[in-house]
A and B are shown apart, each in its own frame.
Chain A
Amino acid sequence: MAAVSLENWVERIRDPKIECMSRDEMADLQSRRLVDVVDRVYNNVEFYRRKMQQRGVEPGDIKSIEDIEKLPFTTKEDLRDNYPFGLLAIPMKDVVRVQGTSGTTGKLTIAPYSQKDVDVWGECVARGLTMAGLTNEDIIHVCYGYGLFTGGMGLDFGAKALGATAIPMSAGNTKRQMMCMEDLGATAFACTPSYALYLAESIQEAGLVDHMKLKAGIHGAEPWTEEMRKKIESILHINCFDIYGLCEITGPGVAQDCIHKAGLHVHADYFYPEVLNPVTHEKCADGETGELVFTTLAKEAMPLIRYRTKDLTSIDHSTCECGRTLPRISKFTGRTDDMKVIRGVNVFPTQVETALLSMGGVVAPHYMMIVDREDNMDVLTVMVEVDESVFSDEIRKLDALRNKIAATLKTALGLSVRVKLVEPKTIQRSEGKAVRVIDNRNL
């Protein structure tokens, strides 16, 4: 119970020279690193050499960061085609570890690291932990999964770089998580936002909120809304921070927001962000939503050039109130993958979450979207839990609640929605990435 309010906040910046660098100096640094990385992939990775030759681009054509537009894109399919080590730019003996994510299509997406890549990763996470107000005096309870998934290891490397104490809990066993959190005096915890909410509710139910020393939560690996953040913050009396990353690029720590919660600061000295129109591939202006594309400027093992993340966001290059000049990407509205087109309307799970939470505590933000096709017509059903605060033994009142939720969702999505009330805690709480949508249509 130690949330620090904004008025009493002391901003700490781990690497002010980089994090508060002028735009011109940053562009110089990025240009030098881009020239270097292009040279490395052209000479060491057959895939990139061929792709650049097809476009008629040579390393000599890349002189500054502005020239990045001349370079080809890399997609997740390219990673799959070159699985597992086809994109490696260093000898295998220099690879010190491999992380990965399980793709829905079966094969893993693999991310190899050199020792320097691991150090950069830890450094970037440590910058984020510092943004969250943490120092080497903090005890960080990591309940992201440890293993191939980058969540656990990433936060661990970050805590190590910071000199903080890491408690490598990994995911699962909520009772044990709460016990260790309490007994070992964790001052911060890191996990997915959906598990954070589940854990927060469990702590509240067990009457343990006052027993905790928590002041910060570091959450990422799935899109979440401002309302969900407020919910976790208000239950645990902490500040929650949004950490973003993807294993192909490095893992968590590519970007994170600061106490001002005005977008996620991208560590643009290592990961150069572009926001592009997903169809025309033209650069979006600041504030305009598009697909986030990354180039890893300093990665050794598997540098990626213009990697299409499929995450949708907008970018802001103005200086943040915290003093950092690192560009900020907006909190994610979703992935191009998560978006469902239902009766021609684009729907993101986060829109449903926002709408439910906007009802002011009337419903729990645990929901499941089910998309079916009945008689050639798309039908969206949203399952919403009836918790004790809204449960009534009068069917009339429950029907009124259901109609109210349906009306709220219809306004938010621009689409008629069937609402099905279900028993509390029946929608699965994930300990990893939450599954929010089941699409039963055979498209």
Chain B
Amino acid sequence: MGITIQQLSVFLENREGRLDEVLSVLAGNDVNIVALSLADTTEYGMLRMIVSDPNKGKAVLRDNGITAMLTDVIALRVPHETGSLSRAMHQIVDGDVNIEYMYAFANGSDASAVLKCDDPARVVDILRGSGFDVWEASEAYVSNIK
């Protein structure tokens, strides 16, 4: 049972049409985007995505001259109720684990929070120990597809 899922990360120069290019390459190769976050700095952007087939996504981007990498992240299952993410976060903070970044997406019956941290195994232990669950890769990559 994998505890992490793979995120497709893309380095984007702040250049007109660059994001559009990345998205069309994925679309043209039947790679579905489940979730997406775009972080911007003054000089470049960082596109992070959960997709239907991360390896294929990386390969097709590479073929089109776009640098992409796969990163192991945790997809925390967050029930649709007020305060649930806050409770999960408390547990992680108490466990002294540093979170590098996070973004969330709704996912039918509940939501998912994608977390990047130094020690995924420990975070998953903490979460499972306090009643939370994480998504398996097989579930995450196909979620929200009708």
| Chain A residues, CB < 8 A from B125 | none
Whether A424 is near chain B, meaning CB under 8 Å from some CB there, is yes
Please state if A424 and B44 are interface contacts (CB–CB under 8 Å): no
Q: Are A393 and B7 in contact (CB under 8 A)?
A: yes
One of B26-34, B66-74, B81-89 contacting the partner? B66-74
CB atoms of A395 and B13 under 8 A apart = no
Identify which of residues 43-77 in chain B touch chain A, using a CB-to-CB cut-off of 8 Å: 43-44, 46, 48, 65-67, 69, 71
Q: Would you call B67 and A394 a contact (CB within 8 A)?
A: no
Known: A386-B11, A391-B11, A394-B116. A423 touches B100 (CB 8 A): no
Contact partners of A396 in chain B: CB under 8 A: 100
B9 part of interface (Cβ distance < 8 Å): yes
Most buried by A among B7, B11, B66, B71: B11
A392 to B100 Cα, complex, angstroms = 12
From the candidates B13, B41, B46, name the one contacting A426 in the complex (CB within 8 A): B13
CA distance A395 to B9 in the complex (A): 11
Which residues of chain B have C-beta atoms less than 8 A from A395's C-beta? 39, 41, 46
Write the nearest CB–CB distance from A368 to chain B, whole angstroms. 13
A217 to chain B: closest CB distance in Å?
A: 26
Say whether chain B's binding surface is mostly helix, strand, loop, or mixed: strand
Q: How many angstroms from the CA of A388 to the CA of B69 in the assembled complex?
A: 8
Cβ of A421 within 8 Å of any chain B Cβ, yes or no, is yes
Contact B65 A425 (CB under 8 A): yes
A interface, how many residues as a size bin? Answer: 10 to 19
Min CB distance, B84 to chain A, in Å? Answer: 26
Q: Mark B104-121, 1 if CB is under 8 A from A, else 0.
A: 000000000000100000
Contact between B48 and A391 (Cβ–Cβ < 8 Å)? no
Given known A-B contacts A386-B11, A393-B116, A426-B13, A421 and B43 have beta carbons under 8 A apart: yes
Do A393 and B65 contact each other (CB < 8 Å), given the known contacts A420-B43, A421-B43, A421-B44? no
Point out the residues of chain B lying under 8 angstroms from A386, CB to CB: 11, 67
A175–chain B nearest beta-carbon distance, Å: 14
B67 touches A391 (CB 8 A): yes
Q: How far is the CB of B95 from chain A (nearest CB, A)?
A: 20
Give A395 to B38 CA distance when docked, in angstroms.
12
Contact of B69 with A391 in the complex, beta carbons under 8 Å? yes
Q: Which residues of A contact B (CB under 8 A)?
A: 386-388, 391-396, 398-399, 420-426
